[in-house]
């Protein structure tokens, strides 16, 4: 087991509004599996992902990564955890505009213990000929693939992806999903993908549905479908 959450709750303030993002989530993630978390916007899926990734802390309940308790971990411990074990992919890529593709990957390999070369990571997502392009010179799909290369370059145990195809058209989105699937299969990385797109669930080992801050259904696919077979 990679992640284990029990009774996880989270409330936060946004401006003058109090938001109950998680209302008690029990969930386990296993090594080398590909999980898709489905839910409408506001269902709490991003919050869950952020807490598992050590980007945020829970208001209540408990979360463990392998034999490490993240629930009461210090800011410093969470930083070390992210540094050593987790790769993130965000909906809006969050590349640093002033750095090239290669440098955006290097920003992570610079601080990792066993990184692959930035060129190799970019090769894995099919961008070996776009190494020295700035984000502004890349298409949306290419930018997202740079973000994936950045996430996998440190060879993390877990890859957490928040709406990785949300800002892309379906054809580009499928290329991005192929890259994620490839990583999961070749490197045995646990991959969690958040989306509101039902179709993507078909490529997963398991599909977790969230609604209003709770897990409402967990479904195991008999067979994973290849991203190329998906349509939306």
| Residues 143-202 contacting another protein, CB under 8 A | 150, 154, 167
Asked if residue 106 binds another protein (CB under 8 A), the reply is: yes
Segment interacting with another protein (CB under 8 A) among 22-30, 85-93, 169-177, 193-201:
85-93
Q: Which two tokens stand for residue 85?
A: 């074990």
Interacting stretch for another protein, rule CB under 8 A, among 22-30, 66-74, 89-97, 206-214? 89-97
Please report whether residue 45 would count as binding another protein according to CB under 8 A.
no
- Farthest CA pair distance, the chain: 48
User: Is 92 a binder of another protein (CB under 8 A)?
Assistant: yes
d(CA 231, CA 82): 33
* Strand spans (E) along the chain: 3-14, 17-29, 34-38, 60-65, 68-69, 86-89, 158-162, 190-195, 206-211, 214-220
Measure the CA–CA gap between 26 and 5, rounded to whole angstroms: 5
107 binds another protein (CB under 8 A): yes
In the bound complex, what is the minimum distance in angstroms from residue 219's beta carbon to another protein?
Answer: 27
Torsion of Cα atoms, 30 then 187 then 232 then 138, to 10°: 130
Judged by the rule CB under 8 A, the positions of this chain that interact with another protein are 12, 14-16, 47, 50, 53, 55-57, 75-76, 79-80, 82-84, 86-88, 90, 92, 94, 96, 98-99, 103-104, 106-108, 110-112, 150, 154, 167
């Amino acid at each position: 087991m990679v992640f284990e959450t029990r009774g996880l709750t989270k409330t936060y303030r946004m401006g003058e509004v109090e938001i109950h993002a998680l209302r008690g989530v029990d969930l386990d993630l296993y090594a080398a599996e590909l999980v898709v978390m489905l839910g409408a916007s506001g269902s709490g899926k991003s919050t869950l992902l952020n807490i598992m990734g050590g980007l945020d802390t829970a208001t209540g309940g408990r979360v463990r990564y392998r034999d490490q308790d993240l629930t009461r971990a210090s800011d410093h411990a969470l930083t070390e955890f992210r540094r050593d074990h987790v790769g993130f992919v965000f909906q809006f890529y969050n590349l640093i505009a002033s750095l090239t593709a290669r440098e955006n990957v290097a920003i992570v390999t610079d601080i990792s213990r066993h990184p692959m070369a930035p060129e190799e990571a970019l090769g894995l997502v099919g961008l070996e000929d776009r190494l020295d392009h700035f984000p502004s010179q890349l298409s949306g799909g290419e930018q997202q693939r740079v973000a994936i290369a950045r996430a996998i370059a440190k060879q993390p145990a877990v890859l957490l992806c928040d709406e990785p195809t949300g800002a892309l058209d379906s054809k580009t989105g499928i290329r991005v999903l192929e890259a994620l699937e490839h990583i999961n299969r070749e490197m045995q990385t646990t991959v969690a993908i958040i989306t509101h797109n039902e179709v993507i669930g078909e490529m997963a080992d398991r599909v977790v549905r969230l609604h209003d801050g709770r897990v409402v259904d967990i479904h195991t696919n008999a067979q994973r479908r290849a991203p190329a077979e998906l349509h939306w």
